[in-house]
Amino acid sequence: MLKWGFALLIGLGTGLVGFFNSFAVENIAGFKLFMTTSLMSKHRYLDAFLAYAGANMCLAAAAAALCAFIAPAAAGSGIPEVKAYLNGVDAQHILAPSTLFVKIFGSILGVSAGFVVGKEGPMVHTGACIASLLGQGGSRKYHLTCTWLRYFKNDRDRRDMITCGAAAGVAAAFRAPVGGVLFALEEAATWWRSALLWRTFFTTAVVAIVLRVAIQFCATGGKCGLFGEGGLIMYDVSSANITYSASGIFAVLLMGAIAGILGSIYNYLVDKVVRTYSIINGKGAFSKISLVVTIALLTSCCYYFLPWIAYCIPCPSNSTVICPSVDESGEYKNFQCPPGYYNDLASLFLNTNDDAIRNLFSPRIIKEFHITSLFIYFATIYCLGIITYGIAIPSGLFIPVILAGAAYGRLFGRLFETITKLDRGLFALLGAASFLGGTMRMTVSICVILLELTNDLLLLPLVMLVLLVSKTVADSFNKGVYDQILKIKGLPYLEAHAEPYMRNLVTRDVVSGPLITFSGIEKVGNILHALHTTGHNGFPVIDEPPFSDAPELCGLVLRSHLLVLLKEKIFSRDRGFANPVIFQRISTLDFGKAGSGKEIKLEDLDIQEEEIDMYVDLHPITNASPYTVVETMSLAKAAILFRQHGLRHMCVVPKSQGRPPVVGILTRHDFMPEHVLGLYPDIKPHKWQ
């Protein structure tokens, strides 16, 4: 019941943050756009630009300052870090309370500043941080603790809760509860169980209910300011008729193939940009903020000045909405045009990202976007999306890719309008799907998220087709964007499949030494020496005569558990089994997973000289059933076993008798391509390595 209670709290927390995020962005960005539009209506064009660019640069500088001074780990999407954590990489500060704070407010400021970024990636990270904070019982540093929350202080339960948080983040960002579950299954989680599926589904259902209640509150007279239907993403692509033809299918296949190529180029360029920015960001806080402000100024110039080269188009006579638009967001922006005309590029650029996507997806707008305008918008968003990712603000990749893809699809539809009867809004949706498949390499979750966004099941076959084509084409060039960022950040992520060369190696070929072992009853001095001289986190425990008939593997003991014993000084002068009563001095929670920065360090120990020769009984804290593999097992098989069971250590035992009971220990490092190829440089790696 407590686990279901956690799922409820995660869903409530993430849903409320998702609503607050959208509420704040719509009001801040809406006020900025309203101010700009008002000045332009008075023909004060220079003042309008200064107000627009100045607001963007101030918002961007504030977002960058939060990341630079409070939580550098909050910069970027956050999805690669969550993926790495769920894969078993416990990196520092990625789920800390300060990271959560900066992720929420930095994302609001960054999206409001007009950057080509989304709040979807940061929402995944936000959900994971909320789940982590609950899972470790709050934060002692910020005096936010609750005793009853501390029952699940172990890696497996923490991973389960963070998986629920990641799914809740997607559900809160897109209002797509089923898509959130599938995202966690396909992209985020490494280990999956049916019980986790149910809890994740329950969490996203809670998020959907919270968002629906919030929207109802705002729609029935709640004081939500400029927050309206555009506040949470929901697009209407309800095409009247979807007719399939050979020419239409050909156009969709060609669109997917080209998007796969463009997506792989996008990933390649993002990789280069992120590597370059990491050098700039490494020079200090001033460099980070300067880079962010520069990109904000460049984005503002593109958004404001590019619409000036577009033609003024007469308002359509059969439009169901006001033309030109009079509010801060709309389909028909007047910009510098005379009465009765609108600027199609301004309708895309001088809008929030959500409204721009809604305009591109809209089936009501048939030919109101000129081909030249669509091409300019696509090229601008494509390039700005590349150069914006990697700066020191919370920034998601979903919205930039959907924006570029929707413009690409709409443009593609205009070019092929003579041979296909498919709707232009449908082409925009298929373009967005194809770009998402080409960059992120997800299929099932993207498909369901887009269907939940558009609320039209008739689109399912074409969306599936274009996703499969774009992903297949892009996979022949490089990896997905999140996999590339994981590699740039140096996070040792274990892939779901073993590399081909691992089939030709066995486990003993990659075991790195020397092996450090402890006796079942070990001297305090020997343990201290091993902890001081090695960075190992796990040590085999071997029982020898007179405690056993022959040397045998008793199990595995963790560094963190050894430090607890040494700090509490559970010692004895005689080399024998300890009295169980002594261990009652230690709480079970002391052996649980510590929160960020709360673990016991070697420097915290105060061991006296006379205690060095005393003994510690390791049996009570030893894992007596560690995972073991024989030394002749294929490395590929061992790698799959290691990943599927979420292990940190795997003992390698000898095949023959009469040898020491353990040959070595395999850790995540031993499966990394860099380690294996360093030992065997003659092996030909995969072309992507």
What is the distance between the alpha carbons of residues 588 and 150, in angstroms, rounded to a whole number? 11
Q: pLDDT class for 237, splitting at 50, 70, 90?
A: low
pLDDT of amino acid 605: 80
Quote the tokens at residue 469: 């084509």
Measured at the CA of 147, the angle between CA 146 and CA 149, to 5 degrees, comes to 75
Q: What is the pLDDT of residue 456?
A: 73
Angle at which helix 371-388 crosses helix 246-281, to 10 degrees, equals 40
Check the CA dihedral 673-675-680-682 and report its sign.
positive
User: Greater confidence, 148 or 523?
Assistant: 523
Six token digits for residue 449: 């998220």
Candidate ranges 429-438, 523-532, 566-575; pick with highest mean pLDDT: 429-438
Q: Residue 682's pLDDT is what?
A: 84
Q: How far is CA 225 from CA 325, 328, 418, 615, in A?
A: 19, 12, 44, 68
Tell me the C-alpha distance between 57 and 72, whole Å. Answer: 20
DSSP state of 394: B
Alpha carbons 467 and 629: distance in angstroms, whole number: 40
Least confident stretch, 79-88, 210-219, 403-412: 210-219
pTM exceeds cut of 0.85 = yes
* Contacts for 664 with CB less than 8 Å, ≥ 6 apart: 508, 511, 512, 513, 515, 651, 652
Higher pLDDT, 642 or 190: 642
Of 306-310, 360-364, 437-441, 636-640, the range with the lowest mean pLDDT is 360-364
Angle, CA 503 vertex, CA 500 and CA 507 arms, to 5°: 125
pLDDT of 425 above 90:
no
pLDDT of residue 535: 85
**What average pLDDT does the segment 295-306 reach?**
95
High-pLDDT (> 90) share of the chain, %: 41
pLDDT at 505 over 70: yes
Domains 1-220 and 246-489 share a fold: yes
What does the domain layout of the chain look like in residue ranges? Answer: 1-220, 246-489, 496-511+631-688, 518-623
Counting Cβ atoms within 10 Å, is residue 118 exposed (0-12), middle (13-18) or buried (19+)?
A: buried
Mean pLDDT to the nearest integer, 295-324: 85
Q: DSSP letter for 465, please.
A: H
CATH of 1-220, one of 3.30.360.10, 1.10.3080.10, 3.90.1150.10, 3.40.50.300: 1.10.3080.10
Say if strands 521-523 and 615-617 run parallel, antiparallel, or are unpaired: antiparallel
User: Looking at the predicted structure, is the pLDDT value of residue 556 above 70?
Assistant: yes
* Residue 269 or residue 415, greater confidence: 269
Q: What is the pLDDT of residues 591-612, one digit of tens each?
A: 666 655 566 777 778 788 888 8
Per-residue model confidence (pLDDT) at position 208: 92
Among 399, 462, 396, residue whose Cα is nearest residue 425: 462
Half-sphere exposure of 159 (CA within 13 A, CB side): 22
* Helices 424-440 and 481-488: angle between axes, nearest 10 degrees: 30
Classify domain 246-489 at the CATH class level: mainly alpha
Report CA dihedral (178, 180, 181, 182) to the nearest 10 degrees: 90
| Helix, strand, coil percentages for the chain (3-state, nearest 5) | 60, 5, 35
Beta bridge partners of 76: 394
Rounded to whole angstroms, the Cα distance separating 233 from 230 reads 6
pLDDT at position 139 is 57
To the nearest whole number, what is the mean pLDDT of the chain? 86
- The 10 Å CB-count burial string (b at 16+, else e) for 1-29 is eebeebbebbbbbbbbbbbebbbbbbbbb
Cα 388 → chain centroid: 17
- Sequence letter at residue 399: I
The pLDDT, as a whole number, for residue 418 is 78
Burial track 594-630 (b if 16+ CB lie within 10 A, e otherwise): ebbeeebeeeeeebeeeeeebbbbbbebbeeebbebe
Percentage above 70 pLDDT, the chain: 89
Which stretch of 135-139, 484-488, 682-686 has the lowest confidence by average pLDDT?
135-139
Total Cβ atoms within 10 A of residue 365: 21
Residue 369: DSSP 8-state: S
CA distance 645 to 334: 59
Given a cut of 90, is residue 403 above it in pLDDT? Answer: yes
For strands 138-139 and 144-145, give the pairing: antiparallel
Task: Classify burial at 35, counting beta carbons within 10 Å of its beta carbon; exposed 0-12, middle 13-18, buried 19 or more.
Answer: middle
Lowest mean pLDDT among 231-245, 352-366, 433-447, 475-489: 231-245
- 91/189: higher pLDDT: 189
Q: What mean pLDDT is predicted for residues 229-254?
A: 69
112 pLDDT tier (thresholds 50, 70, 90): very high
Give the distance, in angstroms, between the CA of residue 32 and the centroid of all CA atoms in the same chain: 29
88 pLDDT band (50/70/90 cuts)?
confident
pLDDT above 70: residue 663: yes
For 608-675, give the DSSP string. Answer: -GGGTT-EEE-GGGSBSS--EEETTSBHHHHHHHHHHTT-S-EEEE-SSSSS-S--EEE-HHHHSHHH
Assess contact for 615 and 573: CB atoms under 8 A. yes
Residue 531 pLDDT > 60: yes
Tens digits of per-residue pLDDT, 126-157?
Answer: 999 999 888 776 555 555 556 555 666 677 88
Helical ranges in 534-592 per DSSP H: 559-568
Averaged over 488-516, what is the pLDDT? 87
pLDDT at 153: 66
What is the C-alpha separation between 571 and 158, in angstroms, rounded?
32
Sheet of 552-558, strands arranged across: 518-519, 538-543, 552-558
pLDDT value of residue 254: 94
Contact 19, 232 (CB under 8 A): yes
| pLDDT at 438 (0 to 100) | 94
User: Do residues 102 and 95 lie in contact, with contact meaning Cβ atoms separated by under 8 Å?
Assistant: no
Res. 239: pLDDT tops 80? no
Residue 468 pLDDT: 95
Could you tell me if 190 and 86 are in contact, meaning their C-beta atoms sit under 8 angstroms apart? yes
Average pLDDT over residues 480-504: 89
In this structure, of 286-290, 328-332, 645-649, the range with the lowest mean pLDDT score is: 328-332
| Least-confidence region, from 38-52, 397-411, 502-516, 673-687 | 673-687
Using pLDDT thresholds of 50, 70 and 90, give the confidence band for residue 575. Answer: confident
Question: Which 3 state secondary structure label does DSSP give 107?
Answer: helix
Q: What is the pLDDT of residue 267?
A: 95
d(CA 676, CA 685): 10
When pLDDT is averaged across residues 639-649 and rounded to a whole number, the result is 88
Q: Are the CB atoms for 24 and 112 separated by under 8 Å?
A: yes
The lowest-confidence range among 112-121, 570-579, 667-676 is 570-579
Question: Is 60 exceeded by the pLDDT of residue 687?
Answer: no
Cα separation, 239 vs 244, in Å, equals 13
Report whether the peptide linkage leading into residue 681 is cis, meaning its omega lies within 30 degrees of zero: no
Q: Looking at per-residue confidence, does 340 or 49 come out higher?
A: 49
Does the pLDDT value for residue 537 go beyond 70? Answer: yes
